[in-house]
Amino acid sequence: MAMEFVESQTAVNPLDLLEEILSANEWPFDRSSNDELLVDCKGSMGSYQLHFSWSADLSAMHFSCFTDLKVGQARRAPIYELLAICNGRMWLGHFDLASGDDSPTFRHTVLLRGAQGASVEQLEDLVDIALAECERFYTAFHFVVWGGKDPSDAITASLLDTVGEA
């Protein structure tokens, strides 16, 4: 079956809207170019760097949320196993190791072809979900990187649900 090519209008750069949202919320950011925006933020578990990259040619925004954990060569194999476990538990995005940076990174790309642009809600949800997933799995990453734990044990220990009150 052949696909037909239908020319569509390029979506509006979502980084312009994102810049407005960040300014309104007084979040410091760096707009290094028309197609790239960086935000540093602090979570309850660690520090994160949010990186947004816009491709007008693809009408797509790529988003990465870098954690502050560094994975040494000796811990790469167990981290890859842990990343696979984490990714199997997620609905949106995925984790990988950032090339050259060696930190577990949440990634997701939003396709906007045919849309007028991203909505405020889409951008807020993207950031909220990324930070929530990074926080949810941060302890497991830490257990594997610094504690030398087995990935299965690390995920089990980090995702324990507390019941009752202390």
CA distance 14 to 117: 6
pTM reported for the whole predicted model: 0.86
| 143, amino acid identity | F
The pLDDT tens digits of the residues spanning 33-53 come to 999 999 999 999 889 999 999
Asked whether 134 and 105 are in contact (CB, 8 A), the reply is no
Per-residue confidence (pLDDT) for residue 55, from 0 to 100: 95
CA angle 42, 80, 111 (to 5 degrees): 65
Domain range annotation of the chain: 14-158
- According to the model, what pLDDT value does residue 165 have? 61
Q: Note the pLDDT of residue 134.
A: 95
Residue 114: its pLDDT value, please? 80
Regions of the chain short of the pLDDT cut 50: none
pLDDT at 5 (0 to 100)? 52
Domain boundaries 14-158, corresponding CATH code = 3.30.1460.10
Query: What is the arrangement of strands in the sheet containing 36-42, beginning at the earlier edge strand?
Result: 29-33, 36-42, 47-55, 60-67, 104-111, 94-97
* Residue 51, both tokens: 């990186």
Q: Which DSSP symbol is given to 99?
A: T
Alpha carbon distance 142, 148 (integer Å): 9
